């Protein structure tokens, strides 16, 4: 299932408590997944019978941003859970913090 992402869209994991807000989106429909299942736009649609299929090491952290390889999509984790965000089967990676300029 593909979703049209726009900045500000809230995304929920279908099989976990992970929640994200879209910070940056390239436009067009995207196969966005959380925990291996299509992302939801409402927490009420969660399914307790589903299980997370992403690696335990890739659990999202609250307040961290996650990007795809091309940096065209950026998600902010607003509630951590067991499910990692992904585009299709490609798990998004945590965005590195930018170094601040030196102040001499």
**What is the distance between the alpha carbons of residues 23 and 45, in angstroms, rounded to a whole number?**
22
3-state secondary structure of 93: strand
* Short-list 40, 34, 37, CA closest to 58: 34
Q: Give me the sheet containing 32-34, strands edge to edge.
A: 37-38, 32-34, 85-87, 90-91
pLDDT in tens, 47-69: 889 999 888 788 999 999 999 99
**What is the distance between the alpha carbons of residues 63 and 20, in angstroms, rounded to a whole number?**
9
Buried b (16+ CB within 10 A) or exposed e, 71-104: eebbbbbeebbbbbbbbeeebbeeeeeeeeeeee
Per residue of the chain (104 residues), give pLDDT as tens: 688 999 999 999 999 999 999 999 988 899 999 999 999 999 999 988 999 988 878 899 999 999 999 999 999 999 999 999 999 999 999 998 888 888 76
**Domain spans in the chain, listed from the N-terminal domain onward:** 3-94
């Amino acid at each position: 299932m593909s979703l049209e992402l726009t900045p500000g869209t809230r995304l929920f994991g279908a099989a976990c408590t992970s929640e994200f807000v879209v910070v940056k989106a390239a436009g067009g429909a995207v196969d966005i997944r959380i925990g291996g299942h299509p992302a939801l736009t409402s927490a009420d649609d969660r399914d307790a019978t589903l299980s997370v299929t992403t690696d335990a090491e890739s659990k999202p952290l609250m307040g961290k941003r996650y990007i795809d390889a091309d940096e065209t999509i950026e998600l902010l984790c607003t509630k951590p859970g067991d499910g990692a965000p992904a585009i299709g089967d490609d798990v998004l990676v945590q965005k590195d913090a930018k170094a601040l300029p030196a102040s001499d």
